[in-house]
Chains A and B, each alone.
Chain A
Amino acid sequence: MMAELWFAIASLMLVAYVVLDGFDFGAGALHLVVARTDAERRQLLSAIGPFWDGNEVWLLATGGVLFLAFPRVLASGLSGFYLAIFLVLWALILRGIAIEFRSHVENPLWRAAWDAVFSVASTILPILFGTALGNLVRGLPITEDGWFSLTLFTNFSPWGPVAILDWYTVSAGLFALLALTGHGAAFLVWKTDGPMRERSRTAAMRLYMLVATAWPLLTAATWWVNPRLFAAFQQRPLAMMSALVALAGLAALAAGLRRQRDGLAFLGSCAFLIGMLAATAACVFPTMLRSVVNEGWSLTAYNASAPAASLDRGIRWWAIGLPLAVIYFVIVFRLHRGRTSIGSGDGTY
């Protein structure tokens, strides 16, 4: 029972991370497109400024929860993807520094350089995260003792000697970039005004058009690469409900964008991401790191969890801590409600 619960908690926190940090990644990927003047770029940074750091904490908190509940998954996964993880870390470091340091110096070259760093890092990160998710769905060369290590690429096939990059995982990475950029655009439509809002609306419509086209294709590819998921999907009501949430999200997004109900559109975008990821989690359960060598060697919520005593102690403080975190987020979002305009920032960004 505890293993199921912690699997749900870890999934929930990861979904929260993607939805929250996703919008500031997306805004970053669009930074050079929708924000053209220095004033507009400061407007964009002011829109995500109060949130991005708190959003990133969900990644650390998810890592912490994996460490406490599924230490073997954390250990095997992070060491197996060693170089890729450092790529993610360096991109996160440069991106955070770009956001915080850009507006401190009034020099066009300084600012242009950091704008480029921010935008490139924000584009690379969704691709990396999407590729990582693709790897988990496809499976990893986990050996009998529970460890693996992956090369960057072999023959780009998701079968046989697998590697980090193949056509399936790269597609997942690109899909993540499309979806999160669309999500970021929907956030900017909701939280900014003026020309940026209009450009973001156009971007959101086009991007989500692509997402809606690519989604069924990627789903079909997923079932081809990991047929078990299809069987699981048919048997698990939670997975089907989640897929419906994602569909409803797309519909709400389209309606919201068309009728200028920006809050609804952003909520729809959130629902799409939540539904899609929740459906994935519901289908893969209990597998966390799938072995392509032998299904029996996969690390699952049952065989890779921490001892029951630890899971039991952990749930008690988690049940107090998480509501607190949610309260802080509500306070911050309430305090920074409304749209950011050009020149409305207080000079920090």
Chain B
Amino acid sequence: MSDSLLWHRLQFAFTIVYHYLFPQLTMGLALLIVIMKAIALRTGDLIWNDAARFWIRIFGITFAVGVVTGLPMEFQFGTNWARFSSFTGGVIGQTLAMEGVFAFFLESSFLGVLVFGERRLSARGHFLAAVALFIGSWLSGYFIICTNAFMQHPVGHDTGPGGVLQLIDFWALVLNPWALAQYAHNMAASVVTASFVTMSAGAYYALQRLHVDTAPRFLRLGVIAGFVASVLVAFPTGDTQAKLVARHQPVSLAAMEGHFESGPAAGIVLIGQPNVRERRLDNPLVVPGFLSLLAYGTFHSDVAGLDQFPEDVWPDNIELLYYAFHVMAGLGTMMIALTLLAGAAELRGGLMRRRWLLWMLMLAFPFPYIATTAGWITAELGRQPWLVYGLFRTAQGASQTVHSGTVLFTLIGFAGLYLVLGLLYLYLVGRELVHGPSATSQTHAGSPAAVAAHDG
């Protein structure tokens, strides 16, 4: 791999991983905010409305960082991956443009309405703004996943004039089975992130004995949504995703599992280190048969090992791919266990009394971020050495007119800028957290209090 290709890849990887720390929270929070506002609207319980307003403030700060770190993503297709863009624009340009037109306009318009509009709108109108924001942010996720799914499993295209890709079947692209599975998996994970953050804030207040009305609500919502979503991440969405990888990218599956030799009744690895030079797994701890089950639904199916494939189609970083996959799967399992434990405690009425459990819930919020990042590293490294699977190699895609030192320069620039952004973000979210949800101070248009305030 040439130097410049490495820097191009690292810059994209760094900026996308960093960017996605923010949308994974806002997309999940958008759903939780809709739920909180719906409960407030149905029950008239204003504490839920205060809770929603608190999370809308966090949402606003997170969304801002998500927006500004998202800008470079779209531009880097052209700046750093110019040859890839020329080749695929006729297909993935569609889904990227659709993201802008269908999702970003909706999202950006109604975030303003949600943040600024509480006094101008009725309670129902404000709820609808939250729904519009939810739809916008989840649509945006869909179009970006559709773009990625085309790179993982190209459909609906053929080669047009000039040897570039063209779109033949619009609905095949938009309803790519890979996209559907990946979207469900990813969005469930995003709800896990938001739930763990909500839960963590609730546990923090409970441990501090602050905001005694809101803390149990944060905890209950976080635990229920977190449990449901983390189960959904594993089954059926993660399971479906694994079967798609087994069918369409068997060499990636072999690399993810460090499965060097083919054979029936392949086991799943709990612990072990891939040793690519020796073509084996060091100190493995294996549960027999489970990889066959995961990939093909029976304990004794054959699972192709890396030995079945020529080395030039092996993912180019098998070690990192293997670790990323195992970190994701391991943390996913732990998150199911933790939310199950918290849920059981809550059912027996004792979550608020078990301080050790509250401590765990408070400190657990990084897990979904790590698991999601590891999951995306798995997806993207598993796709290597291809940019578009089976069609176009990563090495063919980078911009030729940009020198490697220039890319390193912008990469370092991003590292510095994003460090500052991250510190500012943590500072501001920390302040909101310390300030906490405040009691209803704002009223809706048309309510007696608003009219009185206006007349006064």
Q: Which residue numbers of A lie inside 8 Å of B, CB to CB? A: 49-51, 53-54, 56-57, 60-61, 63-72, 74-83, 85-86, 89-90, 92-94, 96-97, 100-101, 104-105, 147-149, 306-310, 313-314, 316-318, 321-322, 324-325, 328-329, 331-332, 335-336, 346, 348
Whole-angstrom CA separation of A332 from B99 in the bound complex: 20
Whole-angstrom CA separation of A348 from B61 in the bound complex: 11
Q: Is A67 a contact of B89 with CB atoms below 8 Å? A: yes
Q: Which residues of B contact A147 (CB under 8 A)?
A: 82, 400-401
Q: Could you show 25 A-B contacts with beta carbons less than 8 Å apart?
A: A51-B112, A53-B112, A54-B112, A57-B104, A64-B93, A64-B100, A65-B93, A65-B100, A71-B87, A71-B90, A79-B78, A81-B79, A82-B401, A85-B78, A90-B417, A101-B428, A105-B428, A310-B90, A317-B101, A321-B98, A321-B101, A328-B109, A329-B109, A331-B109, A336-B116
Q: Does B216 contact A (CB under 8 A)?
A: no
Q: Does B359 contact A (CB under 8 A)?
A: no
Q: Indicate the member of B72, B75, B115 with the most A CB atoms within 10 Å.
A: B75
Q: Which residue numbers of B lie inside 8 Å of A, CB to CB? A: 60-61, 64-65, 67-69, 71-72, 74-75, 77-80, 82-83, 85-94, 96-102, 104-106, 108-113, 115-121, 160-162, 164-168, 170, 399-402, 406, 410, 413, 417, 421, 424, 428, 431, 442
Q: Is A86 a contact of B166 with CB atoms below 8 Å? A: no
Q: Closest B-chain residue to A149, C-beta based?
A: B401
Q: Closest A-chain residue to B117, C-beta based?
A: A335
Q: Is B102 a contact of A50 with CB atoms below 8 Å? A: no
Whole-angstrom CA separation of A314 from B116 in the bound complex: 34
A317 → chain B, closest Cβ, in Å? Answer: 6
Q: Which residues of B contact A105 (CB under 8 A)?
A: 428, 431
Q: Is B86 a contact of A75 with CB atoms below 8 Å? A: yes
> A67-B77, A101-B424 are known contacts; what are 18 more A-B pairs with Cβ within 8 Å?
A49-B112, A57-B100, A64-B98, A71-B85, A72-B86, A75-B399, A79-B80, A85-B75, A86-B410, A92-B71, A97-B65, A97-B68, A100-B64, A306-B89, A309-B166, A314-B93, A336-B116, A348-B60
Q: Is B102 a contact of A324 with CB atoms below 8 Å? A: yes
Q: Which residues of A contact B424 (CB under 8 A)?
A: 97, 101
Q: Is A307 a contact of B164 with CB atoms below 8 Å? A: yes
Q: Which residues of A contact B401 (CB under 8 A)?
A: 79-80, 82, 147-149
Q: Which residues of A contact B162 (CB under 8 A)?
A: 307
Q: Indicate the member of B96, B111, B400 with the most A CB atoms within 10 Å.
A: B96
Q: Which residues of A contact B406 (CB under 8 A)?
A: 82-83
Q: Is A309 a contact of B164 with CB atoms below 8 Å? A: no
Q: Which residues of A contact B109 (CB under 8 A)?
A: 54, 328-329, 331-332
Whole-angstrom CA separation of A313 from B77 in the bound complex: 21
Q: Is A74 a contact of B71 with CB atoms below 8 Å? A: no
A70 → chain B, closest Cβ, in Å? Answer: 8
Given A64-B99, A89-B71, A90-B413, the answer on whether A346 and B402 have CB atoms closer than 8 Å is no
Q: Which residues of B contact A67 (CB under 8 A)?
A: 77-78, 85, 89, 92-93, 96-97
Q: Which residues of B contact A75 (CB under 8 A)?
A: 78, 82-83, 85-86, 89, 399
